[in-house]
Amino acid sequence: MKSISIMLILAFQLWFCIVGISHGQSIVPGFMIFGDSVVDTGNNNNQLTLVKANFRPYGRDFGSHLPTGRFCNGKLATDFTVETLGFSSYPPAYFSSEAQGENLLYGANFALAASGYWDKTAILYGAVPLTRQLRNFEEYQARIKAIAGEENATELIRESIYLLSAGSSDYVQNYYINPLINKLKTPDQVTSLAPLGCLPASITLFGKDKNDCVTRLNSDAIGFNYKLKAAAEALKKSHPDLKLVVFDIYNPLLDLVQNPSKYGFFETRKACCGTGTIETSLLCNAISIGTCSDASGYVFWDSFHPSEAANKALAGALLLQGIELIS
């Protein structure tokens, strides 16, 4: 149940935090992923939460044609990114059985669906908050030292790419639907946003019977994005050795929605799963009536998350923006 906030810090605005470049089979030695359902590859599978995607039809177009816990019909944007960077396998979900031994030597995925910058958002849905993910990362570092030795572990941690996707749940699953918080706080006082007004669920819930993107939600996203860029610039000034680029995901996604035929899509208002207007997580299931047979023409797989085809297009746009960091 996490909307679309793809790659780095913010829902629909990514931060590639790259602290060094190495050489070898992959462009960087490791890939560390934090955040929400846009990048969760199965950590929520064994958690006591209703926000899961480890059942059909999720994963139907993945390599194994089986659900993995990804909130998508196939690959996530981060999966495409990992492949482009030259990794032979994806960073294992930290709570999965694959997160053992040498599998951890090229990174790990700590993200869990419904997580947000505000811990209370995650707790509201029985999810693991971001602060817990950071503690898991500290545990991971200790495990890596035991496996590979302190010198190798230090190099891996120092030279890996760190990616964080969060913020959308704080708004769509908390701020906009919680009347108490909505009255007490302005959008500036919560966290980051994405072009949430174009999500099928956002249009259904807040569109007032119209089929257009919800202006208020998108305006909040634009306003926050300006503040995010300013914060990033301040962070780079205080940490001159940090390689930090703020990626624009708002405009690439908006372009997919406004000009779908340019990318080979034909449906933007409705998602593939079910009626395509509200279904996500448990509501997107094997018996959901109306689920499309081919999601390649749909920008959205369920009412909150992009399809594999859209993820591929978004990943390509983001990598072009960050090519200077990996060339």
Q: For the segment 31-88, what is each residue's pLDDT rounded down to a tens digit?
A: 999 999 999 999 999 899 989 999 999 999 999 999 999 999 999 999 999 999 899 9
DSSP assignment string, 244-277: EEEE--HHHHHHHHHSGGGGT--BSSS-SSTTSS
Which candidate in 169, 220, 305, 307 is catalytic?
305
Residue 170 annotated in active site: no
Catalytic member of 26, 37, 169, 281: 37
166-177, pLDDT tens digit by residue? Answer: 767 766 666 666
Active site residue 37: yes
Domain boundaries, given as residue ranges, for the chain: 14-194+215-248+307-326
What is the band of 294 on the pLDDT scale with cuts at 50, 70, 90? very high
Instruction: For 98-119, write each residue's pLDDT tens digit.
Output: 999 999 999 999 999 998 878 8
Q: Is 23 a catalytic residue?
A: no
State both tokens at 72. 């998508």
Question: What's the pLDDT at 286?
Answer: 95
- Select which of 40, 79, 220, 302 is catalytic: 302
List strand residue ranges (DSSP E) for 97-224, in order: 107-109, 161-165
Under 8 Å CB-to-CB from 84, ≥6 apart: which residues? 315, 319
Residue 192 pLDDT exceeds 60 = no
Q: How many CB atoms lie within 10 A of CB 55?
A: 16
